[in-house]
Chains A and B, each alone.
Chain A
């Protein structure tokens, strides 16, 4: 079963705007990861946030984690057309296996 569920399913914005995607999960975790997938390609790891962290930054990416609400958000600031992709959250389930959500499709219009 899916552990993480992303919201919204799809998001369309103009270049320069910010994009926010949310992920909810069901069980306790020790970290949450975000991945990007360009069309027809494999997934690329973006950022990992541990359960004792509330916020993490990487370039134009900002990830927050609220363990009390079992939710995370990914913010992409000043979006570019090249950010057009699907974004997935993933949570661990036993050892180093991951469970992926169904993803958010982001389209950035130039």
Chain B
């Protein structure tokens, strides 16, 4: 079946540590996105990519980096610069894709997310 695979499902990170979240899609979609969802909140856009080797910052890009070397893959790195609101904190990271660049009438397809807990 076609879809989006995110890994790992759960991840723990210590302060000052970089971690990378994987996102792979086999839908042949051009556009890919990373969102962060804090507990009980909506989704906020971190980065998006409309084509290989190109990506743009979203609303909360500080402390994150991405790459798009292949159409199928859009990994997200949470860097040591990422600030956390409390000593123990977790957020849900969702990867999505859509088929047509510049066409807002296309739905986005989501992976099942990675829950990142900060120790």
Contact = CB atoms under 8 A, between A and B. Distances in A.
A98 B108 contact: yes
B41 interface: yes
Nearest to B43: A100
Contacts of B102: 95-96
Interface in B87-111: 94, 96, 98, 100-111
Contact of B42 (A31, A45, A88, A92): A88
B104 A30 contact: yes
The interface centre, meaning the residue of B6, B41, B48, B104 with most chain A CB atoms within 10 A of its CB, is B104
Nearest to B105: A31
Contacts, number: 64
- For A43, A90, A96, A97, the residue with the greatest tally of chain B CB atoms inside 10 Å of its CB is A96
Q: How large is the interface on A (under 10, 10 to 19, 20 to 34, 35 or more residues)?
A: 20 to 34
A43 B94 CA distance: 9
A96 B42 contact: no
Contacts of A45: 107-109
Contacts of B106: 96
Contacts of A2: 42
B109 A101 contact: no
B110 A44 contact: yes
A69 interface: no
Interface of A: 2, 30-31, 33, 40-45, 48, 50, 88, 90, 92, 95-98, 100-103
Given A43-B43, A96-B98, 20 more contacts: A2-B42, A33-B107, A40-B112, A40-B115, A41-B112, A42-B6, A42-B113, A43-B96, A45-B109, A88-B42, A88-B43, A92-B104, A96-B100, A96-B102, A96-B103, A96-B108, A97-B33, A98-B104, A100-B42, A102-B41
Interface of B: 4, 6, 31, 33, 35, 41-43, 45, 48, 50, 58, 94, 96, 98, 100-113, 115
